[in-house]
Amino acid sequence: MGPESLESIQKSALEDILKKYPEKAQKDRAKHLGVGLPADESQKTCGGVQSNKKTVPGVMSQRGCAYAGSKGVVWGPVKDMVHISHGPVGCSQYSRSGRRNYYIGSTGVDTFVTMNFTTDFQERDIVFGGDKKLTKAIEEINELFPLVKGVSVQSECPIGLIGDDIQATAKKTTALINKPVIPVSCEGFRGVSQSLGHHIANDAIRDHVFTSKGSDVGSTPYDVAIIGDYNIGGDAWASRILLEEMGLRVIAQWSGDATLNELRNGPKAKLNLLHCYRSMNYVSRHMEQEFNIPWIEYNFFGPSKTYESLRKIASQFDQGVQDNAEKVIAKYKPVMDAVLDKYKPRLEGKKVMLYVGGLRPRHVIGAYEDLGMEIIGTGYEFAHNDDYSRTTHEIQRSTVIYDDANEYELEAFCKRIKPDIVAAGVKEKYTFQKMGLPFRQMHSWDYSGPYHGFDGFAIFARDMDMAINSPVWGHNKAPWDAA
The secondary structure element, H or E, covering residue 251 is: strand 249-255
| Residue 38 sits in the site that holds other proteins (CB under 8 A) | no
Of residues 218-237, which lie at the interface with other proteins (CB under 8 A)? 233-234, 237
Coil vs helix vs strand at 68: helix
- Catalytic-residue membership of 452: no
Site pattern 76..105 for other proteins (x: CB under 8 A): ----x---x--xxxxxxxxxx-x---x-xx
**Least distance (Å) between residue 479 CB and other proteins:** 14
Which of 32, 240, 270, 360 touches other proteins by CB under 8 A?
Answer: 240
| Residue 291 sits in the site that holds other proteins (CB under 8 A) | no
Which of 450, 452, 464, 468 touches other proteins by CB under 8 A?
Answer: 450
Residue closer to other proteins (CB basis): 21 or 389: 21
> From CA 398, how far away is CA 5, in angstroms rounded?
10
**Least distance (Å) between residue 202 CB and other proteins:** 19
**Least distance (Å) between residue 238 CB and other proteins:** 8
> From CA 452, how far away is CA 454, in angstroms rounded?
7
- C-alpha dihedral, 337 to 342 to 344 to 347, nearest 10°: -150
- Catalytic-residue membership of 99: yes
Find the part of the chain contacting other proteins (CB under 8 A) among 42-50, 159-167, 277-285, 388-396. Answer: 159-167
CB within 8 A of 297, min separation 6: which ones? 274, 275, 277
Q: Which of 63, 198, 199, 275 is catalytic?
A: 198
Find the part of the chain contacting other proteins (CB under 8 A) among 184-192, 286-294, 299-307, 347-355. Answer: 184-192
Q: Tell me how far CA of residue 286 lies from CA of 74, 164, 207, 295, in angstroms.
A: 16, 28, 11, 10
- Catalytic-residue membership of 198: yes
Which of 30, 176, 177, 241 touches other proteins by CB under 8 A?
Answer: 241
Burial label for 444, CB within 10 Å (0-12, 13-18, 19+), is: middle
Of residues 327-346, which lie at the interface with other proteins (CB under 8 A)? 332, 335, 338-339, 341-342
> From CA 260, how far away is CA 272, in angstroms rounded?
17
Question: Per DSSP, what are the bridge partners of residue 111?
Answer: 107
> From CA 165, how far away is CA 472, in angstroms rounded?
54
Of residues 409-438, which lie at the interface with other proteins (CB under 8 A)? 411, 426-436
β-pairing, 33-36 vs 399-402, is: antiparallel
| Residue 257 sits in the site that holds other proteins (CB under 8 A) | yes
Q: Which of 46, 65, 414, 424 is catalytic?
A: 65
Q: Which residues are catalytic?
A: 65, 68, 99, 198
